[in-house]
């Protein structure tokens, strides 16, 4: 697993140091241990955790040069993907992990403590509510959720967190082109602009990610995001 992780991450342009590899493997072990009681992931094979969670998360690096930025928020982080993986791979990042389920954050707090990670915090709540908080609103260089919501809905969750000049990096699947067409209006309303779409093959899999790189070009109106549930029910 050690050599596999080192070689495959390098294919994504991420050169992991020995400590980072050990931290990721420890993260994997904790995920499998906690998963027995919390049902954090349906993926339980060690090699698939590395490919479908860790390498998948590191694919963000193919869309934006993370070394140039400092503050990142992961909305709907779940078991820490991609946010906590990116923290391990890029220790200089200040990371905020947002999730609406407390049990997931309890797990993430345990990983953070065990791995002795600094400048990474968990925040419990829905994106629609947290994005209204002045402490978090338009404060981040990057928002990189890996979520199942359609792009229009995801844009309303993500773009309010991003400062002008920052990026919303949406990790999506093969239906992205269709979603982009449907989300064009929402992205514009929320102060974003689609810069490009990047195709990223995930090493050692047949998965090809499509990643939407959306730049924040203006402020987000204070009425967005709308109240909890509304972005999903009625996308802009």
User: Cβ distance 207 to 55 under 8 Å?
Assistant: no
On whether the 2-233 domain is CATH 3.40.50.150, my answer is yes
| Cα distance between residue 155 and residue 150, in whole Å | 9
pLDDT at 137: 98
pLDDT of residue 173: 84
Taking only the tens of pLDDT, the chain with its 236 residues reads 999 999 999 999 999 999 999 999 999 999 999 999 999 999 999 999 999 999 999 999 999 999 999 999 999 999 999 999 999 999 999 999 999 999 999 999 999 999 999 999 999 999 999 999 999 999 999 999 987 789 999 999 999 999 999 999 999 988 898 999 999 999 999 999 999 999 999 999 999 989 999 999 999 999 999 999 999 999 99
pTM across the whole model:
0.96
Contact 84, 111 (CB under 8 A): yes
Write phi, then psi, for 208 (nearest 5 degrees): -120, 110
Label residue 75 left, alpha or beta by phi (over 0 means left) and psi (-120 to 50 means alpha): beta
DSSP annotation of 95 reads: E
* Structural domain boundaries in the chain: 2-233
pLDDT, residue 219, reads 97
3-state secondary structure of 154: helix
């Amino acid at each position: 697993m050690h050599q596999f992780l080192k070689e495959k991450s390098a294919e994504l342009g991420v050169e992991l140091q020995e400590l980072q590899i050990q931290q990721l493997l420890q993260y994997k072990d904790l995920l499998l241990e906690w998963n027995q009681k919390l049902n954090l992931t349906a993926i339980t094979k060690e090699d698939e955790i590395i490919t479908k969670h860790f390498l998948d998360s590191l694919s963000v690096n193919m869309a934006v040069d993370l070394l140039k930025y400092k503050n990142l928020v992961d909305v709907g982080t779940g078991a820490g993907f991609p946010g906590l993986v990116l923290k391990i791979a890029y220790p200089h990042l200040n990371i905020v992990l947002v999730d609406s389920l407390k049990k997931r954050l309890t797990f993430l707090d345990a990983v953070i403590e065990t791995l002795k990670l600094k400048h990474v915090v968990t925040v419990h709540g829905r994106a629609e509510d947290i994005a209204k908080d002045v402490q978090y609103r338009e404060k981040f260089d990057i928002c990189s959720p890996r979520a199942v919501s359609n792009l229009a809905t995801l844009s309303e969750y993500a773009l309010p967190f991003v400062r002008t000049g920052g990026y919303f990096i949406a990790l999506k699947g093969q239906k992205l082109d269709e979603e982009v067409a449907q989300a064009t209006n929402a992205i514009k309303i929320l102060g974003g602009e689609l810069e490009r779409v990047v195709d990223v093959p995930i090493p050692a899999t047949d998965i090809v990610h499509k990643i939407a790189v959306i730049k924040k070009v203006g402020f987000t109106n204070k009425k967005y995001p709308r109240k909890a549930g509304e972005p999903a029910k009625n996308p802009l």
